[in-house]
């Protein structure tokens, strides 16, 4: 018991106590196995084969050892449960502090997103005003017989929206995916700001061809 008692005294964490309990369980299994041999030795001594007093003394020592080991295992188990609870509380407290930091960062992210959305709205308002002015001028150019002076709004938009796009995170939430699709629709062909119909979109005013036969 001496090495294990020292280890038990040094153990502080649930993992340390579990390791000591495993050692004590091994010693207990060996002591229980030895008790069977000592009982058989006592039985033989009763019938004159061996020293009965010595056999009984050895059996009593073995029983004492088993009792001590069982008490030690029970005490270590109680200490392990207490240590596990304390460690769980410490983990929860650490998680709480981490979440508080993330909540503050989330607020900063939302404020930044709101600022960027407001900036985007201002840019869209300005782009819309310029588009209307150019469309009006294009109409005047047509009326004056100067179609070469017209500016292609679609070409200007395509050139401005060209370029690589950031990939969405693999674990984006449904709300995040919906917001991402909405933002992409502002810069995609056939999107919310594109006057042209998207691919495979029905053409307004189109009529079905009559079937033959």
**Do 53 and 69 have their domain in common?**
yes
Q: Give domain status of residue 66, yes or no.
A: yes
Task: Using the 3D structure, point to which of 139, 161, 183 is the last residue of a domain.
Answer: 161
**Do 89 and 103 have their domain in common?**
no
For the residues of 70-121, what is the DSSP string, one character each?
HHHHHHHHHHHHHHHHHHHHHHHHHHHHHHHHHHHHHHHHHHHHHHHHHHHH
**Do 46 and 113 have their domain in common?**
no
pLDDT at position 196 is 59
**Whole-angstrom Cα Rg for the chain:** 42
**Do 7 and 91 have their domain in common?**
yes
Q: What is the 8-class DSSP label of residue 190?
A: T
> For residue 61, what are the contacts with CB-CB under 8 A and spacing of at least 6?
none
**Do 13 and 81 have their domain in common?**
yes
Q: What is each CA distance from 38 to 53, 54, 68, 104, 112, in whole angstroms? A: 12, 10, 18, 69, 79
CA dihedral for 145, 148, 151, 154, sign (positive or negative)? positive
Task: Using the 3D structure, point to which of 97, 115, 144 is the last residue of a domain.
Answer: 97
pLDDT at position 47 is 75
* Residue 166 Ramachandran class (φ > 0 left, ψ -120 to 50 alpha, else beta): beta
Nearest CA among 19, 13, 15, 117 for reference residue 3:
19
pLDDT at position 195 is 60
Nearest CA among 65, 70, 13 for reference residue 38:
65
User: Which three-class secondary structure state does DSSP give residue 168?
Assistant: coil
Task: Using the 3D structure, point to which of 97, 121, 146 is the last residue of a domain.
Answer: 97
pLDDT at position 50 is 74
Q: Is 159 exposed, middle or buried (0-12, 13-18, 19+ CB in 10 A)?
A: exposed
Per residue in 172-198, pLDDT tens? Answer: 899 999 999 988 888 887 777 776 554
pLDDT at position 44 is 79
Q: Give domain status of residue 199, yes or no.
A: no
Range of the domain at 38: 2-97
> Which tokens hold the place of 120?
């985007």
**Do 91 and 136 have their domain in common?**
no
Q: Give domain status of residue 117, yes or no.
A: yes
**Do 130 and 60 have their domain in common?**
no
**Do 6 and 74 have their domain in common?**
yes
Q: Give domain status of residue 115, yes or no.
A: yes
**Do 40 and 88 have their domain in common?**
yes
What is the rounded (10 degree) CA torsion for 61, 62, 66, 69?
70
Question: Total domain count for the chain?
Answer: 2
Q: Give domain status of residue 195, yes or no.
A: no
**Do 32 and 90 have their domain in common?**
yes
Q: Which residues of the chain have pLDDT under 70?
A: 1-3, 195-213
**Do 91 and 9 have their domain in common?**
yes
**Do 80 and 115 have their domain in common?**
no
Q: Are 1 and 23 in contact (CB under 8 A)?
A: no
Q: Give domain status of residue 110, yes or no.
A: yes
User: Which three-class secondary structure state does DSSP give residue 122?
Assistant: helix
Q: Give domain status of residue 174, yes or no.
A: no
pLDDT at position 18 is 92
């Amino acid at each position: 018991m001496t090495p294990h008692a020292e280890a038990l005294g040094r153990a502080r964490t649930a993992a340390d106590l579990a390791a000591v309990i495993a050692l004590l369980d091994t010693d207990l299994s060996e002591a229980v196995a030895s008790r069977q041999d000592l009982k058989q030795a006592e039985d033989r001594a009763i019938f004159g084969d061996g020293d009965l007093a010595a056999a009984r003394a050895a059996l009593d020592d073995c029983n004492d050892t088993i009792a001590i080991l069982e008490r030690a295992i029970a005490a270590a188990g109680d200490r392990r449960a207490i240590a596990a609870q304390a460690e769980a509380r410490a983990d929860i407290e650490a998680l709480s502090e981490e979440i508080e930091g993330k909540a503050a960062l989330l607020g900063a992210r939302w404020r930044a997103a709101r600022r960027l959305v407001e900036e985007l709205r201002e840019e869209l308002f300005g782009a819309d005003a310029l588009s209307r002015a150019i469309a009006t001028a294009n109409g005047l150019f047509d009326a004056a017989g100067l179609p070469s002076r017209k500016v292609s709004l679609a070409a200007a938009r395509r050139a401005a929206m060209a370029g690589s796009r950031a990939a969405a995170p693999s674990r984006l939430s449904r709300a995040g995916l919906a917001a991402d699709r909405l933002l992409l629709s502002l810069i995609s062909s056939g999107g919310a700001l594109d006057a042209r119909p998207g691919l495979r979109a029905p053409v307004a005013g189109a009529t079905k061809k009559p079937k033959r036969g």
